[in-house]
Amino acid sequence: MSRKYFGTDGIRGLVGEYPIVPEFAMKLGWAAGKVLAASGKPSVVIGKDTRLSGYLLESALQSGLSAAGVDVRLLGPMPTPAVAHLARAFHASAGIVISASHNPYYDNGIKFFASNGKKLPDETEQQIEEWLDKPMTIDKPDALGKTLRQEDARGRYIEFCKASFPYHLSLKGLKIVVDCAHGATYQVGPSVFRELGAQVITVACEPDGMNINADCGSTHPQALQAAVLINKADLGIAFDGDGDRIVMVDHTGSVVDGDEIIVMIARARQQENPLLGGVVGTLMSNMGMEVAIRDMGLDFVRAKVGDRYVMAELGKRGWTLGGEASGHIVCLDKTTTGDAVIAALQVLTAVVQSGQSLQELRQGMTKFPQQLINVKIAQKSDPMLHEGIAAAVEQAERELGARGRVLLRASGTEPLIRVMVEGEHQQQISRICQDLADQVRSALG
CB 278, CB 301: distance < 8 Å? yes
Alpha-carbon distance of 301 to 321, in angstroms, equals 11
Q: How far apart are CA 367 and CA 356, in angstroms?
A: 20
CA gap 327, 239 in Å, rounded:
9
Rounded Cα gap, residues 321 and 276, in angstroms: 10
53 carries an active-site annotation: no
The answer to whether the peptide bond before residue 221 is cis (omega within 30 degrees of 0) is no
For 37, counting Cβ atoms within 10 Å of its Cβ (0-12 exposed, 13-18 middle, 19+ buried), the class is middle
Choice among 53, 63, 99, 101 that is catalytic:
101
Do 47 and 78 form a contact (C-beta atoms < 8 A)?
yes
Cis peptide upstream of residue 77 (ω within 30 degrees of 0):
no
R_g of the chain, CA atoms, integer Å: 23
Rounded CA-CA distance 306/256 in Å is: 20
User: Who contacts 343 (Cβ-Cβ below 8 Å, separation ≥6)?
Assistant: 246, 261, 265, 323, 327, 329, 331
| Contact predicate 185/243, CB 8 Å | yes
Sheet with strand 405-410: strands edge to edge? 370-376, 416-422, 405-410
- Strand segments, DSSP code E, in 6-90 are 11-14, 43-48, 71-77
Element (H, E) at 62: helix 53-67
Q: Mind telling me the catalytic residues?
A: 101
